[in-house]
């Protein structure tokens, strides 16, 4: 039997890198590859209480079918949290999603016809590219520097290509870990207004800050009219990924349309976990917990940074992340990091080569390192292994 | 700002019926409209224990990111449960989904190009039609009787239209509550083999049986080669809908492709709920629980049947359901049930008019009644109200 799959499945192939990393998860390898929080830091006791409370409420509503838009009290809590970030929206403008990955998918589903254009950074979040491609969207990269997109290239492409959307991860981005300047944020919004383009602001990492909370302004907070920006975030990095609770806020018309699309995809997000999240926010110091996460992850970032600094290799370059979960490392241009990965895995350490994050013109000498999952001791050991591999490479690539 | 939505959103409009039913959920109306299980029958104590256990395991893996295919021990439990139904598949052929709704959506996503053809019963599951339409699939109904699809019409349409899939709900179907005969099941499979067409067997209600367990053979159980049938089911009717845990079993190549599609849509299903479901199945008599559900729901079905039988109205017709959650009632052909709904709601009772369940040639005199959500006393009271409305209608429509 030959199955006649849809054309879009050609964008759903597993990558060679993923196959290598599948092996990694089973062995003694120290992995800096995934984007995982440390499970030992999950607020497990508070979650136990939150679920117990949800399961002793008496009316069992937490176990019944729920509204597609999300559990109303959770939407209200989320609207309040958004206000603390300067995003003034009512709970009617909030859609609870099954992780922020689903927010990207639902947005694409209601927005794109085949051939539509999206502008993105380059590199950008790999799984967003996969979603866009599965809707046969044309993804066009915009030139960027450490402060965000290049405004000239952006406006030129907006004018010329008439994209439906500009997709950005402006805060501690994946994979680059960088932070857009306020000026670039404002300018992106102005360009979007001028040319009537929607901005999709993907912000899963915004709460993982190393310079105190509140050090950035979401682009959505600048959009006073609530017309141009869809903003998505998640509890996957701050509470626990397993719950698959994300949310998206934006113009009512788009949120409503995405809710209608969600109804066909999974009816609604796990109600019990939504009720438990409300309990957690009411009964537990979530912000205190996030603060201790930031403290611990910053320490791990610094351990990794020290070992990166110890590498004596001309052309190796990185920007110290001010939040988030990743170092983005540029190796000397002769090094192909995809070719380096099998050697690294053999030595007991893994990373993600940078190429798959690029829309085009991939810099094959880049790699991404996660510093949140491994404990500081393991980061040290893993980085020592990585340094050894890089040093060997140097001997091969740059024989003295 | 005018948002340039995708073409597919034209299939995502909210219906007039849904708008009426939204009002219903807020008032004093006794609703037979939804497809809800009774929340008072959820195994809440067992679930509390299952979640507590998942949250005291020590390694916190139940809170971390999980595999897209599903939590491995759950896939094994599901494969074992499928074997009890005669469906011999290994856990590699099982994909855990966020409710069986997602199984339908992922299948459509990997399978259909715009213009592809699906054959269905008529009427059939409304939300499956919505999914198919959102992928711009052409849905073609096959003539059916109480035993299943008419084989001549089926084979004729398979030959002539070359559909990619035949979608069926052969066991206590939604909305008709009917049960395909074994002979029709075998013949559908033979036609699928002969013409190399995939069968999608949607079976959310199969465990809610009123004539003892094991009284039916899934079509998937007849597909010894595991080549032609995708079979989906859910814990929404037997444990609790809130968990959004469904599954699909089928040919490995299709399951793998659907897993790749799932990765882009929500990464994976809520891990904590998956771990809790495994605990529940290990530590709790799930089959005993299902038996007591069947007993209670059968009693409610009989209460509803008695009151349906009390209606003295020529042309009113229904088949007594042998399982599932619904009565499908044909009213005299002069009655338009959509027009009847507002009157019924005014009298304090709600149902779903039958029209939206049809692909074409809707019988506007049909309606669906759910008998699982309301307690027997409320079913009696609700049915008395409905009988009064119908009797009034009779006076108007058929003045004596």
From CA B344, how far away is CA A187, in angstroms rounded? Answer: 56
- Check whether residue B166 and residue B273 sit in a common domain: yes
Tokens 């159980």 map to which residue?
B221
- Check whether residue A312 and residue A387 sit in a common domain: yes
| Residues above pLDDT 70, as percent of chain A | 94
Helix (H, G, I), strand (E, B) or coil at B222: helix
Rounded to the nearest 10 degrees, how much is the dihedral formed by the CA atoms of A136, B70, A248, B12? 60
| Sheet of B326-330, strands arranged across | B317-318, B326-330, B366-370, B352-353
From CA B218, how far away is CA B252, in angstroms rounded? Answer: 19
> What pLDDT is stored for residue A13 in this prediction?
64
Is the CB of A110 less than 8 angstroms away from the CB of B12? yes
Is the CB of B267 less than 8 angstroms away from the CB of A101? yes
| Residues above pLDDT 90, as percent of chain B | 85
Q: Binning pLDDT at 50, 70 and 90, where does residue B93 land?
A: very high
pLDDT < 50 stretches in chain A: 399-400
B138-141 and B94-97 strand pairing: unpaired
Is the CB of A64 less than 8 angstroms away from the CB of B268? no
Write phi, then psi, for A96 (nearest 5 degrees). -80, 135
Write phi, then psi, for B171 (nearest 5 degrees). -125, 110
Is the CB of A48 less than 8 angstroms away from the CB of B44? no
Is the CB of A253 less than 8 angstroms away from the CB of B3? yes
Model's pTM, two decimal places?
0.96
Q: Does pLDDT of B163 surpass 90?
A: yes
**Residue B284 sits at the chain A interface (C-beta within 8 Å):** no
- For chain A, counts of helices (H) and of strands (E): 13, 15
Q: Does A309 fall in a domain?
A: yes
Q: Which residue, B232, B252, B283, sits at the end of a domain?
A: B283
> What pLDDT is stored for residue A28 in this prediction?
86
The token pair at B362 is 């809707």
- Check whether residue A145 and residue A263 sit in a common domain: yes
List, in order, residues 6 or more apart from B208 with CB less than 8 Å away: B172, B237, B238, B290, B293, B294, B297, B323, B324, B325, B372
> What pLDDT is stored for residue B400 in this prediction?
45
The token pair at A284 is 């537990």
Q: Does A2 fall in a domain?
A: no
> What pLDDT is stored for residue A72 in this prediction?
97
Which is higher by pLDDT, A397 or B348? B348
* Full domain range(s) for residue A389: 7-43+288-395
From CA A17, how far away is CA A331, in angstroms rounded? Answer: 18
CATH code at B122?
3.40.640.10
Q: Does A363 fall in a domain?
A: yes
Question: Which residue(s) pair with B119 in the sheet?
Answer: B140, B166
Per-residue model confidence as pLDDT tens digits over B276-291: 999 999 999 999 999 9
**Residue A105 sits at the chain B interface (C-beta within 8 Å):** yes
> Is residue B161 within 8 Å of B194, Cβ to Cβ?
no
Question: Which residue(s) pair with B95 in the sheet?
Answer: B248
From CA A27, how far away is CA B173, in angstroms rounded? Answer: 47
Per-residue model confidence as pLDDT tens digits over B45-84: 999 999 999 999 988 999 999 999 999 999 999 999 999 9
Count how many domains chain A has: 2
- Check whether residue A246 and residue A140 sit in a common domain: yes
From CA A20, how far away is CA A340, in angstroms rounded? Answer: 12
> What pLDDT is stored for residue B11 in this prediction?
75
From CA B101, how far away is CA B104, in angstroms rounded? Answer: 5
Q: Does B51 fall in a domain?
A: no
Q: Which residue, A245, A267, A283, sits at the end of a domain?
A: A283
From CA A382, how far away is CA A396, in angstroms rounded? Answer: 21
Q: Does A217 fall in a domain?
A: yes
> What pLDDT is stored for residue A400 in this prediction?
45
The token pair at A164 is 């439906």
List, in order, residues 6 or more apart from A308 with CB less than 8 Å away: A316, A318, A327, A329, A383
Query: Rounded mean pLDDT of chain B?
Result: 93
Q: Which residue, A283, A313, A348, sits at the end of a domain?
A: A283
- Check whether residue B189 and residue B205 sit in a common domain: yes
> What pLDDT is stored for residue B390 in this prediction?
87
- Check whether residue A317 and residue A332 sit in a common domain: yes
Alpha-carbon gap: B2 to the closest alpha carbon of chain A (Å): 8
Q: Does B50 fall in a domain?
A: no
> Is residue A209 within 8 Å of A322, Cβ to Cβ?
yes
Long-range CB contacts for residues A131-136, cutoff 8 Å, separation at least 24: A131/A101, A131/A104, A131/A105, A131/B264, A131/B265, A132/A108, A132/A167, A133/A11, A134/A8, A134/A11, A134/A12, A134/A108, A134/B109, A134/B261, A134/B264, A135/A8, A135/A108, A135/A109, A135/B6, A136/A7, A136/A8, A136/A11, A136/A112
- Check whether residue A96 and residue A205 sit in a common domain: yes
Tokens 């709600």 map to which residue?
B350
From CA A210, how far away is CA A290, in angstroms rounded? Answer: 11
Per-residue model confidence as pLDDT tens digits over B199-218: 999 999 999 999 976 679 99
**Residue B265 sits at the chain A interface (C-beta within 8 Å):** yes
- Check whether residue A101 and residue A71 sit in a common domain: yes
> What pLDDT is stored for residue B215 in this prediction?
76
Name the residue among B8, B36, B267 with its Cβ closest to that of A65: B36
> What pLDDT is stored for residue B38 in this prediction?
97
Q: Which residues of A touch B48 (CB under 8 A)?
A: 52, 55-56
- Check whether residue B106 and residue B227 sit in a common domain: yes
From CA A336, how far away is CA A155, in angstroms rounded? Answer: 33
Alpha-carbon gap: A63 to the closest alpha carbon of chain B (Å): 5
Terminal alpha carbon distance of chain B: 58
List, in order, residues 6 or more apart from A212 with CB less than 8 Å away: none
A117-120 and A94-97 strand pairing: unpaired
Q: Binning pLDDT at 50, 70 and 90, where does residue B392 land?
A: confident
> What pLDDT is stored for residue B100 in this prediction?
96
User: Which of B260, B270, B277 should we substitute to test contact with A (largest number of A Cβ atoms within 10 Å)?
Assistant: B270
From CA A129, how far away is CA B264, in angstroms rounded? Answer: 9
Q: Does A127 fall in a domain?
A: yes
- Check whether residue A245 and residue A302 sit in a common domain: no
From CA A99, how far away is CA A235, in angstroms rounded? Answer: 8
Is the CB of A260 less than 8 angstroms away from the CB of B14? yes
The token pair at A158 is 């907006």
Q: Does A167 fall in a domain?
A: yes
- Check whether residue A275 and residue A367 sit in a common domain: no
Of B136, B199, B197, the closest CA to residue B167 belongs to B199
- Check whether residue A105 and residue A254 sit in a common domain: yes
> Is residue B231 within 8 Å of B87, Cβ to Cβ?
yes
**Residue B7 sits at the chain A interface (C-beta within 8 Å):** yes
Name the residue among A5, A130, A265 with its Cβ closest to that of B111: A5
| Residues above pLDDT 70, as percent of chain B | 94
B326-330 and A198-202 strand pairing: unpaired
């Amino acid at each position: 039997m030959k199955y006649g799959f849809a054309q879009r499945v050609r964008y759903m192939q597993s990558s060679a890198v993923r196959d290598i990393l599948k092996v990694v998860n089973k062995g003694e390898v120290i992995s800096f590859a995934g984007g995982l929080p440390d499970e030992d830091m999950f607020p497990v006791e508070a979650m136990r209480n939150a679920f117990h409370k949800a399961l002793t409420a008496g009316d069992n509503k937490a176990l019944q079918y729920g509204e597609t838009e999300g559990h109303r009290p959770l939407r209200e809590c989320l609207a309040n949290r958004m206000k603390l970030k300067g995003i003034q929206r009512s709970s009617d403008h909030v859609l609870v999603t099954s992780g922020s990955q689903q927010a990207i998918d639902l947005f694409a589903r209601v927005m794109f016809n085949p051939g539509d254009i999206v502008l993105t950074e380059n590199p950008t979040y790999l799984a967003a590219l996969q979603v866009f491609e599965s809707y046969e969207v044309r993804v066009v990269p915009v030139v960027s520097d450490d402060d965000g997109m290049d405004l000239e290239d952006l406006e030129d492409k907006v004018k010329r290509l008439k994209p439906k959307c500009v997709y950005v991860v402006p805060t501690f981005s994946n994979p680059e870990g960088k932070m857009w300047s306020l000026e670039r944020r404002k300018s992106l919004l102005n360009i979007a207004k001028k040319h009537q383009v929607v901005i999709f602001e993907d912000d899963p990492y915004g709460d993982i800050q190393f310079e105190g909370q509140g050090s950035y302004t979401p682009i959505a907070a600048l959009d006073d009219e609530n017309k141009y920006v869809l903003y998505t975030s998640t509890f996957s990095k701050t509470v626990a990924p397993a719950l698959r609770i994300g949310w998206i806020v934006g113009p009512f018309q788009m949120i409503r349309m995405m809710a209608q699309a969600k109804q066909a995809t999974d009816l609604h997000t796990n109600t019990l976990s939504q009720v438990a999240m409300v309990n957690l926010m009411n009964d537990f110091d979530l912000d205190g917990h996030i603060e201790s996460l930031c403290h611990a992850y910053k320490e791990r970032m610094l351990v990794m940074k020290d070992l990166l600094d110890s590498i004596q290799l001309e052309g190796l370059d990185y920007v110290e992340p001010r939040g988030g979960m990743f170092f983005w490392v540029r190796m000397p241009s002769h090094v192909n990091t995809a070719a380096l990965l099998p050697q690294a895995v053999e030595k007991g350490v893994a990373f993600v080569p940078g190429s798959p994050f690029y829309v085009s013109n991939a810099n094959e000498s880049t790699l991404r390192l996660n510093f949140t999952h491994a404990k500081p001791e393991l980061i040290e050991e893993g980085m020592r292994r990585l340094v050894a591999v890089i040093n060997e490479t140097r001997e091969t690539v740059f024989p003295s």
